[in-house]
């Protein structure tokens, strides 16, 4: 199937290479599509229609949107022998997004402070670590009585990096508010960005009302959705670094001297009886409505699992350990079952493209599914999201750069895109050109739209 056209625009006298935007509901096998050469003529008088469910271009987005050996060996267990006391739980294979165990995995619960994983992810995707956060009166006083705080007051300033340590280690709620205002201008606007990002990650039953997880009747999510959120966060190296730091020297502020903040997740401390080797990130939570909540990522021998428990009454650690033990002990069977894509051990011959219900995935030479990474296949560049799905359409990366991926999945390069009546140009490296002149001599504005 061709999705390229050769058009001559006599009126404008333009000679452009362009890529038309195809409807989102057409399934196209990820096979290289014949490219239009730069010498072929095309013009912006061509009208390309785009399905309304497709991601819109950057000019239209109000909120633009990737082994250790066990210290405590585990024994294989059958699913019926796995006893989880928390009301909701899920165990996910972080490489593929496959659910290995679920208990009320799609039921909504109050999340409490595990909410802050999403807050940290959005901050890391939108800010530099050295940016200065100035805390407002609204951020520092809009708190529940008794909620966790670092005694930050209006006018105090911290860097984004310092704030993230206060957010993820101490779980300070005024820091969550301050970061939200820094990114979006207000807590409400940031909550909107949280919900948009959750939808992008595939969350189906999540609604965030604040950045800290304080009690709110509309602030709910599910074990499955929280696993997706942690799956995305664990792709970020800075998140993993901060989120596994046990102690941090927090700077002095106007109302408090410099102090040491410590990690709240007990499974990370070698001296604690709940220690679990291989933890690579996680977050604790508690409110009167949520009960105990806990989200944990662990990796052993190259296998990365995510465990989430919600609405627990003090069993959050024993339940999490039971889930992870079960997952690691039975991984080959669990990950390779039900016709799902698993590691090389489960299906050593499976490499290359595979079409599943969620879309196209790619099995690398080592037998693992590409996730949160680039892959070059037959000279074409593809991006796979943290759910292992091949992406199409517009995508904005954490550094703010926009790319466009064709319906067949590969990155557009050195060509024009016609989207919703506007023209955009993708450079030789695939990046959207903005506020500059294109190689063929046309001006594009700060959104990347051709100035007609």
State the pairing for strand pair 303-312/88-93: antiparallel
Q: Secondary structure of the chain: what % helix, strand, coil (to 5)? A: 20, 25, 55
Look up 116 and say whether it is catalytic. yes
CA distance 239 to 375: 23
- 8 Å CB contact between 293 and 311: yes
Diameter of the chain measured on Cα atoms: 77
Q: In what order do the strands lie in the sheet with 279-287?
A: 99-103, 88-93, 303-312, 291-300, 279-287
Q: Are 215 and 110 in contact (CB under 8 A)?
A: yes
Compute the distance between CA of residue 113 and CA of residue 212 in angstroms, rounded to an integer.
Answer: 6
Q: Does the active-site annotation cover 171?
A: yes
Tell me, yes or no, if 113 is annotated catalytic: yes
Q: Exactly one of 20, 86, 163, 171 is catalytic; name it.
A: 171
* Residue in 50, 116, 170, 431 annotated catalytic: 116
The residue annotated as part of the active site, out of 20, 86, 113, 163, is: 113
What b/e string do you get for 198-234 counting C-beta neighbours within 10 Å, with b at 16 or more? beebbbebbebbbbbbbebeebbbbbbbbbbbbbbbb
Q: CB-side exposure of 342: number of CA atoms within 13 Å? A: 17
Q: How long a stretch of residues is the chain?
A: 452
Cβ of 119: how many Cβ atoms within 10 Å?
A: 28
Nearest to 57 by CA among 417, 362, 435: 417
**Active site positions, annotated:** 113, 116, 171
């Amino acid at each position: 199937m061709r999705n390229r056209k050769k058009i001559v625009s006599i009126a404008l006298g333009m000679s452009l290479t362009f890529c038309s935007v195809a409807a989102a509901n057409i399934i196209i096998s990820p096979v290289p599509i014949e490219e239009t050469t730069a010498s072929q003529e095309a013009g912006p008088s061509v009208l390309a229609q785009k399905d309304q469910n497709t991601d819109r271009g950057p000019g239209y987005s109000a909120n633009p949107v990737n082994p250790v050996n066990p210290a405590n060996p585990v024994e294989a267990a059958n699913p019926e022998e796995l006893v989880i006391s928390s009301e909701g739980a899920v165990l996910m294979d972080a490489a593929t997004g496959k659910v290995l165990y679920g208990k009320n995995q799609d039921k909504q619960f109050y999340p409490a402070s595990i909410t802050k994983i999403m807050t940290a992810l959005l901050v890391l995707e939108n800010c530099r670590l050295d940016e200065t956060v100035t805390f407002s009166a609204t951020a520092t006083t809009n708190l529940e009585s008794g909620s966790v705080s670092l005694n930050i007051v209006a006018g105090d300033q911290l860097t984004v990096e310092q704030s993230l340590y206060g957010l993820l280690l101490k779980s300070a709620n005024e820091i969550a508010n301050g970061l939200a205002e820094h990114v979006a201008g207000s807590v409400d606007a940031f909550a909107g960005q949280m919900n948009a990002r959750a939808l992008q990650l595939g969350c189906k039953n999540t609604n965030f009302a604040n950045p800290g997880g304080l009690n709110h009747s509309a602030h709910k999510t599910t074990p499955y959705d929280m696993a997706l959120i942690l799956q995305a966060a664990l792709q970020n190296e800075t998140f993993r670094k901060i989120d596994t730091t046990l102690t941090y020297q927090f700077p002095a502020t106007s109302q408090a001297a410099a102090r040491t903040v410590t990690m709240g997740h007990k499974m990370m401390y070698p001296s604690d009886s709940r220690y679990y080797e291989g933890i690579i990130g996680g977050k604790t939570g508690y409110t009167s409505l949520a009960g105990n909540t806990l989200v944990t990522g662990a990796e052993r021998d190259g296998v990365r699992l995510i465990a989430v428990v919600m609405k627990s009454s003090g069993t959050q650690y024993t339940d999490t350990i039971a889930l992870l033990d079960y997952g690691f002990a039975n991984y080959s069977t669990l990950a390779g079952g039900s016709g799902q894509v698993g590691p090389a051990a489960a299906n050593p011959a499976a490499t290359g493209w595979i079409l599943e219900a969620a879309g196209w995935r790619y099995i690398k030479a080592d037998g693992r599914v590409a996730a949160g990474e680039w892959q070059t296949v037959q000279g074409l560049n593809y991006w796979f999201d943290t759910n292992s799905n091949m992406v199409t359409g517009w995508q904005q990366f954490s550094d703010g750069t926009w790319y466009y991926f064709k319906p067949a999945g590969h990155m557009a390069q050195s060509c024009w895109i016609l989207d919703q009546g506007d023209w955009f140009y993708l450079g030789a490296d695939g990046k959207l050109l903005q506020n500059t002149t294109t190689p063929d001599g046309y001006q594009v504005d700060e959104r990347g739209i051709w100035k007609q």
